Chains A and B, each alone.
Chain A
Amino acid sequence: MARYLIGRIIGLIIVFVMVSVIAFFLMHSVPGGPFDEEKSPLPPAAKANILRKYGLDQPLYVQYLRYMWSAVHGDFGISFQSPTESVIQLIARTWPVSIQLGGLAILVAFSSGLVFGIVAAIRQNSWIDYVVTFISTLGITVPNFVIAIWLLLIFSVRLRWLPTGGWPTEGSGNWKAMILPVITLALGPSALVARYTRSSMVEVIRSEYIRTARAKGLSEQVVVMRHALKNALIPLITILGPQIPNLITGTIFVEVIYRIPGLGKFFVSSIYLRDYPMIMATMLLVAMLWSFTYLLSDILYTIVDPRIRLN
Chain B
Amino acid sequence: MSRNRLWSVIVFVCVAMLALAACGGTAPAPSGEAQNASNANAAPTSAAAESAAPTSAANDSGATAPTSAASDSGAAASANGTLNGVKLPDDAAPADQQVYVVHYDNTSDFTTVDFYESVYKRGGAVSDVLSDSLVRLDKNFKIQPGAATKWEVDSSGLVWTFHLDPNLMWNDDTPVTADDYVATFRYGADPKHAWDFTWFFQGVIKNWSEVVEGKVPVDQLGVAAADPHTLQVTTVSPAPYLPAMMLYSDTMQKKALEAHGGLYNSDPATSVSSGPFVLKEWRKGDRLIYEANPKYKGTNKPFIQKIVVIGAAPSTDFASYQAGEIDFVTGSNLSPADNQIIESDPELKKQSHPQPNDFRTDYLFFDDQNPPFNDVKVRQAFSHVIDRDTLIQQIIKPSQGIPAYSFLMPGFPASNSKELSSIQNYDVAAAKKLLADAGYPDGKGFPKITLWLRNEAPVRQAVAQAIAASIKQNLGIDVEVSNKENKTFTDAMNAKPTQIQFGMVSYGMDFLDPFNMLSVWLGGGRHNWNNAQFDEMVKKAASFTGDPNERIKMFQDAEKLLVTEAPGVFIYHRYQSDLYRPYLKGTELEPDQNGVAAIHWPGISSFSQVVSSIYVSKDVANFDRQLP
Q: Establish whether residues A83 and B323, one from each chain, have CB atoms under 8 Å apart when the complex forms.
A: no
**B497 to nearest A CB, angstroms?**
13
In A12-57, the 8 Å CB interface with B consists of 30-33, 35-43, 45-46, 49-50, 52-53
A169 to B286, CA, bound (A): 9
Q: Establish whether residues B319 and A37, one from each chain, have CB atoms under 8 Å apart when the complex forms.
A: no
Residues of B within 8 A of A46 (CB): 194-195, 198-199, 212
Residues of A within 8 A of B315 (CB): 256-257
Q: Establish whether residues B109 and A53, one from each chain, have CB atoms under 8 Å apart when the complex forms.
A: no
Q: Establish whether residues A164 and B17, one from each chain, have CB atoms under 8 Å apart when the complex forms.
A: no
For B326, the closest partner residue in chain A by CB is: A164
Q: Quick check: is B494 within 8 A (CB to CB) of the other chain?
A: yes
Q: Quick check: is B202 within 8 A (CB to CB) of the other chain?
A: yes
Other-chain contact of B283, A81, A156, A169 (Cβ < 8 Å) = A169
Instruction: Scan A159-170; emit 1 where CB is below 8 A from any B CB, else 0.
Output: 010011111011
Q: How many A-B residue pairs have CB under 8 A?
A: 176
* Contact residues of A: prevailing secondary structure: loop
Contact A164-B323, Cβ < 8 Å, known A134-B9, A153-B25: yes
Residues of A within 8 A of B266 (CB): 84
Q: Establish whether residues A31 and B311, one from each chain, have CB atoms under 8 Å apart when the complex forms.
A: no
Residues of B within 8 A of A157 (CB): 24, 28, 32, 319, 322-323
Contact A45-B209, Cβ < 8 Å, known A40-B520, A164-B325, A272-B486: yes
In A137-161, the 8 Å CB interface with B consists of 137-138, 149-150, 152-154, 156-158, 160
Q: Quick check: is A198 within 8 A (CB to CB) of the other chain?
A: no
For A167, the closest partner residue in chain B by CB is: B286
A32 to B193, CA, bound (A): 20
Instruction: Scan B316-347; emit 1 where CB is below 8 A from any A CB, else 0.
Output: 10011011110000000000000000000000
Q: Establish whether residues A153 and B319, one from each chain, have CB atoms under 8 Å apart when the complex forms.
A: yes
A283 to B120, CA, bound (A): 26
Contact A83-B191, Cβ < 8 Å, known A157-B24, A163-B325: no
Q: Establish whether residues B283 and A41, one from each chain, have CB atoms under 8 Å apart when the complex forms.
A: no
**B627 to nearest A CB, angstroms?**
11
A167 to B628, CA, bound (A): 12
Q: Quick check: is B10 within 8 A (CB to CB) of the other chain?
A: yes
Q: Establish whether residues A261 and B486, one from each chain, have CB atoms under 8 Å apart when the complex forms.
A: no
Q: Quick check: is A268 within 8 A (CB to CB) of the other chain?
A: yes
Residues of B within 8 A of A70 (CB): none
**B365 to nearest A CB, angstroms?**
14
Q: Establish whether residues B267 and A32, one from each chain, have CB atoms under 8 Å apart when the complex forms.
A: no
A152 to B325, CA, bound (A): 13
Residues of A within 8 A of B447 (CB): none
Q: Establish whether residues A130 and B6, one from each chain, have CB atoms under 8 Å apart when the complex forms.
A: yes
Instruction: Scan A259-277; emit 1 where CB is below 8 A from any B CB, else 0.
Output: 1010001001100111000
In A62-108, the 8 Å CB interface with B consists of 80-85, 93-94
Q: Establish whether residues A256 and B313, one from each chain, have CB atoms under 8 Å apart when the complex forms.
A: yes
**A174 to nearest B CB, angstroms?**
9
Contact A43-B209, Cβ < 8 Å, known A164-B316, A165-B312, A259-B313: yes
Q: Establish whether residues A134 and B199, one from each chain, have CB atoms under 8 Å apart when the complex forms.
A: no
Other-chain contact of B14, A31, A33, A80, A138 (Cβ < 8 Å) = A138
Other-chain contact of A137, B10, B108, B120, B490 (Cβ < 8 Å) = B10
Q: Quick check: is B65 within 8 A (CB to CB) of the other chain?
A: no
For B506, the closest partner residue in chain A by CB is: A38
Residues of B within 8 A of A200 (CB): none
Q: Quick check: is B492 within 8 A (CB to CB) of the other chain?
A: yes
Q: Establish whether residues A153 and B209, one from each chain, have CB atoms under 8 Å apart when the complex forms.
A: no
Residues of A within 8 A of B193 (CB): 49, 53
**B24 to nearest A CB, angstroms?**
3
Q: Establish whether residues A163 and B311, one from each chain, have CB atoms under 8 Å apart when the complex forms.
A: no
Residues of B within 8 A of A150 (CB): 17, 21, 24
Residues of A within 8 A of B285 (CB): 82, 93-94, 261, 265
Q: Establish whether residues B199 and A261, one from each chain, have CB atoms under 8 Å apart when the complex forms.
A: no
Residues of A within 8 A of B284 (CB): 82, 84-85, 93, 261
Q: Establish whether residues B267 and A84, one from each chain, have CB atoms under 8 Å apart when the complex forms.
A: yes
A24 to B480, CA, bound (A): 32
Other-chain contact of A52, B110, B194, B213 (Cβ < 8 Å) = B194
Contact A42-B199, Cβ < 8 Å, known A153-B28, A153-B319, A257-B313: yes
Other-chain contact of A134, B13, B31, B110, B263 (Cβ < 8 Å) = B13
A303 to B214, CA, bound (A): 66
A184 to B281, CA, bound (A): 30
Q: Establish whether residues B490 and A32, one from each chain, have CB atoms under 8 Å apart when the complex forms.
A: yes
Residues of A within 8 A of B526 (CB): 39-41
Q: Establish whether residues A43 and B194, one from each chain, have CB atoms under 8 Å apart when the complex forms.
A: no
Q: Quick check: is A282 within 8 A (CB to CB) of the other chain?
A: no
Instruction: Scan A165-183; emit 1 where CB is below 8 A from any B CB, else 0.
Output: 1110110000000000000
**A118 to nearest B CB, angstroms?**
21
For B262, the closest partner residue in chain A by CB is: A83
Q: Quick check: is A251 within 8 A (CB to CB) of the other chain?
A: no
**A26 to nearest B CB, angstroms?**
14
Q: Establish whether residues B24 and A153, one from each chain, have CB atoms under 8 Å apart when the complex forms.
A: yes
**B498 to nearest A CB, angstroms?**
10
A82 to B193, CA, bound (A): 16
Residues of A within 8 A of B195 (CB): 46
Residues of B within 8 A of A152 (CB): 316, 319
Other-chain contact of A38, B107, B202, B486 (Cβ < 8 Å) = B486
Q: Establish whether residues B325 and A42, one from each chain, have CB atoms under 8 Å apart when the complex forms.
A: no
In B76-109, the 8 Å CB interface with A consists of 106-109
Q: Establish whether residues A265 and B106, one from each chain, have CB atoms under 8 Å apart when the complex forms.
A: yes
Q: Establish whether residues A41 and B198, one from each chain, have CB atoms under 8 Å apart when the complex forms.
A: no
Q: Quick check: is A133 within 8 A (CB to CB) of the other chain?
A: yes
**A155 to nearest B CB, angstroms?**
10
Residues of A within 8 A of B9 (CB): 130, 134
Residues of B within 8 A of A93 (CB): 284-285
Q: Establish whether residues A170 and B283, one from each chain, have CB atoms under 8 Å apart when the complex forms.
A: yes
In B1-24, the 8 Å CB interface with A consists of 1, 6, 9-10, 13-14, 17, 20-21, 24
A32 to B455, CA, bound (A): 14
Q: Establish whether residues A50 and B263, one from each chain, have CB atoms under 8 Å apart when the complex forms.
A: no
Q: Establish whether residues B199 and A35, one from each chain, have CB atoms under 8 Å apart when the complex forms.
A: no
A84 to B213, CA, bound (A): 26
Q: Quick check: is A311 within 8 A (CB to CB) of the other chain?
A: no
Instruction: Scan A221-242; emit 1 where CB is below 8 A from any B CB, else 0.
Output: 0000000000000000000000
Other-chain contact of A41, B32, B196, B525, B628 (Cβ < 8 Å) = B525
Question: What are some 6 contacts across the A-B interface (CB < 8 A)?
Answer: A30-B488, A49-B194, A53-B193, A130-B6, A160-B324, A257-B313
- 3 closest pairs, A vs B, by CB? A32-B487, A153-B24, A45-B213
Extra inter-chain contacts (9) besides given A49-B198, A84-B266, A84-B267, CB under 8 Å: A31-B487, A35-B196, A38-B454, A83-B263, A158-B24, A257-B315, A259-B106, A259-B310, A272-B486
